[in-house]
Each structure stands twice: as C-alpha cells, then as structure tokens.
Amino acid sequence: MKKSIKTILWTIFWTIILSQLLTAIAGWTIVDPILNLIMPAKVDIEPLTFPQLHDGKQWIRVNLVNIGLSDVDSINVDYKLCSDDEYKRGVLHSLTLKRDEKDYFEVEYDLNTNCSIETEPAIIKVYKNTENNKYYAKFLESVSNVCMYCFMDIRIYEGNKEITNLTYAFPFSEGNLTISNTGISGFLDYEQFKNKSQLVYQKDMDIKLYILYPSTACIRGDFEREWCEENNYSIN
C-alpha cells in the first residue's frame, strides 16, 4: 500500500516537473490537449479602420486574436471584399494561432482617405403664384462623388470547420450619390404648373440639401474626438 502511494506521489511530482519544463520552453502545459478537445476555438476578428501604407500601396489589414483557452490549428481565413463575386483566401503568417497570440492578413485595395464626406447641395427653388399666393418648388438634384463604405465578409476556419465570421463596413471607398426629388411637403410642383409666367422666383427662400457622413469624418479625424465619442462614432 505504502509503495503504491509512493509511486502515485512520484508520478504526480514528475508530471508537474515535466509540465513546468514544457511551459518554460514552449508555452505548452499538460492540460493543453484536454483543452483542445473540450474548449471551442475562439478568435476575435479586428479590422483596422484606417488603411495601411507600404510598398507604395494601400492595404486593408485585419487582425485575428486567439481569445480562447486552446490553440487554433490549421487556421484559414476567407474574405470577400466590396464588389468581389467569390471568396478569396487570406494569407496568414502561421498555420497555428496560439492561445493569447495575434496574427493578421492584408488585402491590397484602392482607397481614398481624402474622399469627400459631404455631397454637393441639391437646391430647392421656391416660386410664388401671383394669382393665388400659392408656393411652388423646383428641385435641382445633385450628383456627388463621396466617401462610401464597402462591406468585407470574413470567415475563419480551423481546418474545414468555420469557427467565426464577421461582416465589416470598411470606409474610404468612393461612389456617386444622387440627391433627387422625392416630393417636397408644403409646396406644389413647379414642373406640373403650366402657366409659369404667373410664378415669381423667391430667391431668399432657396433651400439647400446636403448629406454628410460623420462616421467617416470621425475615423479620419475631421471632427472633434469628444463629439464623436458622445455620438458613438468610431475613432481611428
């Protein structure tokens, strides 16, 4: 009996010594294989909101952080960016994302960090009917090249098993935006009135319509940090 107890104690002792030795050398513990079996892989996907510049090109960078209790073996990432029709494979720096460690992949993409956050104004011109004092509105639409978001779909795999995904709206893409007439409350339609000689232009009543993108402005630093934080906009 005493010999059995002594054997058990020596086994525990050498197991602890071996575990500590492996931890010191390779960051591995005796419980790691157990954790890999019973704990699901957990990876945070953290895209950077501002493009990275190197090699004379712009790159979208996406960080992957292992927040689980086990390593992620055979890790792969697929992404689909903006107008892509199919998913593409992201290039990581290691096949294993160890516990508490970070890796990243980058995608080259043509972005414009100086894009406009404000449209050109659409103008509503107001006319007054000299016969009955009714007011008519003439809408002059605007077409502007402005900052836009493009969506990036990201899928993370351990081997062939998907473990997490994220759809992220990335700023600094560009596109045309039209502000057009969808009906103006309180005014009659200038275009529908036939006898326009009865209408007198009321210049001091002009209305200008803009569309502003404060989210992009906060990321770029155009607006005060305090205002952005108070209004829950992301800051670079």
Q: Domain-by-domain residue ranges, the chain?
A: 1-30, 122-148+175-230
**Does residue 51 or residue 183 have the better pLDDT?**
51
pTM exceeding 0.85: no
CA atoms within 13 Å, Cβ hemisphere of 141: 9
Torsion angle (degrees, nearest 10) of CA 22, 23, 25, 26: 90
Range list of β-strands (E), 180-222 = 188-189, 199-201, 207-209
Between vectors from CA 106 to CA 105 and to CA 110, what angle results, nearest 5°? 165
Q: What is the rounded CA–CA span in Å between residue 109 and residue 114?
A: 15
Q: What is the pLDDT of residue 37?
A: 56
Q: Are 172 and 81 spatial neighbours (Cβ–Cβ below 8 Å)?
A: no
Q: What is the pLDDT of residues 142-163, one digit of tens each?
A: 999 999 999 999 999 999 999 9
Q: What does each C-alpha distance from 180 to 100, 119, 133, 190, 193 come to in angstroms?
A: 51, 12, 26, 15, 19
Q: Give the range with max mean pLDDT: 46-50, 92-96, 187-191.
A: 92-96
Specify the range with the lowest mean pLDDT, choosing from 35-39, 43-47, 206-210: 35-39
List the structure tokens of 201.
């232009």
